[in-house]
Chain A
Amino acid sequence: MSNAENFEDVVKSRRDEKVAEFDLIEKNVFHRLHSLLHRTPALVPLIVLVVACVVFGLINANFWRISTLSLIFQQIGIVGILGIAQSLVVLTAGIDLSVGAMAVLTSVIMGQFTFRYGLPAEVAIAIGLAAGTMMGAINGVLVARMRIPPFIVTLGTWQVFLATNYIYSANETIRSQDIEANAPALQFWGTAFNFAGARVTLAVVLLIVLVAIMAYVLRHTAWGRHVYAVGDDPEAAELAGVPRKRVLIQAYALAGFFCGIAGWVMIGRFGSVSPSASTGILGNIQAITAVVIGGISLLGGRGTIVGMFLGALIVGVFEMGLRMAGADAQWTYLLIGVLIIAAVAIDQWIRKVSS
């Protein structure tokens, strides 16, 4: 009897111990998770992406076919490149609403310089890329030197670039057949090759290469560290010897250059040059979505290009997976909306440190 009682006592006290221990473990796990996410914020989109792929694969076995995956990659090609541009600007604690407009305007410049002025397509492309860089630099100068908030600057230049695009092109589309016959270089990134039985375009390869290059630049060069420092605390960066204004202008200009590349890729993807391509109006929102879901903080200084790339993939996977599951397209927007808010909530939590 007394033995049994003792036994019960032991169980009781054991249980208390266990509970306390569990509390400690739970706290520890929480803390670990926090510092892990703090170091690698791109883990969140990675987990979401893997889960989404598994779920969509279970719903529809065709999802896991390489042709489906290659289609997803092709669909995020343009958004992904605009996302690189957007990431650069957002890391400096800015925002660029003009990325889509710059892409469309540069694609129009490339097309018109070839067909209206009869320049070789390669020269027109170079001019288009230079024009994109110039437009980005204008944003950068207005932000860094005139001290106008980035949101306002790019809200303005978005309209200006988009209107310029319509006026300059006289809203005239250059047809795909004409480009194919006279200036195939413009459609270069649409070139497809066979990979493991699936059709893959060069645009997909380009996106992956650009993501890798920019991940390297941001992590392993002084300039990349300066971009983070400027976004993190501009005053501290300046006192520590970072040329804040120059870095800002360079970041915006480089973003413009990437928009130029996106404009070129657009011609390959759509075949034609169209001033009324939806990218001009939606490109900025799509790029910001990829950036936010990818765990880059809108307050600047935190996040990675790889995260943005995963964010863009998540959007592509949701679109494709839901379509294959036969769901209403609106479900995509609904879920993306939820993801955006969740991503920012997680960012806030990650920022609450050292407490």
Chain B
Amino acid sequence: MEPLLKARNLVKRYGRVTALDQCDFDLMPGEILAVIGDNGAGKSTLIKALSGAVIPDAGTMWLDGAPIEFSSPNDARAKGIETVYQTLAMSPALSIADNMFMGRELRRPGFMGNWLRKLDHKAMEDFARKKLSDLGLMTIQNINQPVETLSGGQRQGVAVARAAAFGSRVIILDEPTAALGVKESRRVLELILDVRSRGIPIILISHNMPHVFEVADRIHIHRLGRRLCVVDPKDYTMSDAVAFMTGAKEPPADVLAA
């Protein structure tokens, strides 16, 4: 089977720091791929390259076998790749609805929308409300509440809801449960499984090994800016995975990346 999203030899340097060092990447259709690695291993940089937020210095990427080059997150979004960034990428002073539709606002039909460019606030609010209640996040009272008045977990929930609502080809989640409580984390994991059942593959970055081993079909282990190996969670234990990613143990030759 051909990977849906593929990258070879990605390089990204920040001054002296090499965040991505000849990194390879493969995402198979319909799978949940977990990406794990130490702090600073380059996981966020990798997914930023895949989502257009970082332009790699070198390397090639393919979507569905066709080479792709993104110059902004919008390019990736136009191809159906949605991302929840580690920083969440939300404007604190703007409302939940504003944030969910940032960069893809809905306009009113007819003259008001076409000629006066008037936004359809109501349609956007209704949509946002629906997506949040789907995610069980309707502890949020008011969809017009500024995002800064939400708790960290609620904010993360809104970001996840945004990605899940708009992602049509690939959904990338960079530590989506980091600020969430037990119950909310469960919801997000359920959402991830739900998205996969719709046939959309997911890239999940997480430091939470039980979560990773619970939902992942394959685990991409990232170390020192590159893919060290890809393992099947059924064949290895959590402590094996942690040992590989910290360098305490060498992965066996058959899973090592070329």
Contact = CB atoms under 8 A, between A and B. Distances in A.
A220 B119 CA distance: 5
Interface in B99-117: 99, 102-105, 107, 116-117
A354 B92 CA distance: 11
A235 B91 contact: no
Interface in B61-97: 72-74, 77, 83, 85, 87-94
Contacts of B150: 354
A241 interface: yes
Contacts of B104: 241
A200 to B, nearest CB: 28
A233 to B, nearest CB: 5
Interface residues of B, number: 32
Interface in A225-252: 225-226, 228-229, 232-233, 235-243
B148 interface: yes
A222 B107 contact: yes
Contact of B94 (A38, A232, A354): A232
B74 A301 contact: no
A1 interface: no
Contacts of A221: 117-119
Contacts of A232: 91-94
Nearest to B107: A222
Contacts of B116: 216, 220
Contact of A223 (B87, B88, B99, B117): B117
A241 B74 contact: yes
Nearest to A225: B98
Contacts of A225: 94, 98, 102, 105, 119
B148 A240 contact: no
Interface string A275-308: 0000000000000000000000000011000000
Contacts of B93: 228, 232, 301-302
Residue from the set A216, A229, A240 with the largest chain B CB neighbour count within 10 Å: A240
A233 B118 contact: no
A57 to B, nearest CB: 36
Contacts of B149: 38, 353-354
B190 to A, nearest CB: 25
A177 B103 CA distance: 52
Contacts of A223: 117
Contacts of A302: 93
Given A229-B94, A229-B102, A242-B103, A236 B88 contact: yes
Contacts of A241: 72-74, 77, 102-104
Contacts of B107: 222
B153 interface: no
B117 A235 contact: no
A235 to B, nearest CB: 7
Contacts of A243: 72, 74
B53 interface: yes
A355 to B, nearest CB: 10
B103 A240 contact: yes
Contact of A239 (B85, B98, B121, B151): B85
Nearest to A222: B105
A239 B94 contact: no
Residue from the set B85, B91, B116 with the largest chain A CB neighbour count within 10 Å: B91
A237 B119 contact: no
Interface string B150-161: 110000000000
B74 A239 contact: no
A225 B150 CA distance: 20
Nearest to B106: A222
Interface in A119-138: none
Nearest to A239: B89
Nearest to A219: B119
Residue from the set B53, B85, B94, B119 with the largest chain A CB neighbour count within 10 Å: B94
Nearest to A350: B93
A15 to B, nearest CB: 35
Given A240-B103, A353-B148, A228 B94 contact: yes
A146 to B, nearest CB: 19
A151 to B, nearest CB: 22
Residue from the set B53, B92, B98 with the largest chain A CB neighbour count within 10 Å: B92
Contacts of A238: 53, 72-73
B102 A242 contact: yes
Contacts of B73: 238-241
B3 interface: no
A220 B85 CA distance: 27
B109 to A, nearest CB: 15
B146 interface: yes
A301 B89 contact: no
B51 to A, nearest CB: 9
5 contacts: A220-B119, A240-B103, A241-B73, A243-B74, A301-B91
Given A221-B118, A225-B94, A228-B93, 13 more contacts: A220-B116, A220-B117, A220-B119, A222-B117, A222-B119, A228-B94, A229-B94, A232-B92, A233-B91, A236-B91, A237-B91, A238-B73, A242-B103
Interface of A: 38, 216, 220-223, 225-226, 228-229, 232-233, 235-243, 301-302, 353-354
Identify the 7 closest CB pairs spanning chains A and B, nearest first.
A241-B103, A239-B89, A222-B105, A240-B102, A232-B91, A221-B117, A236-B89
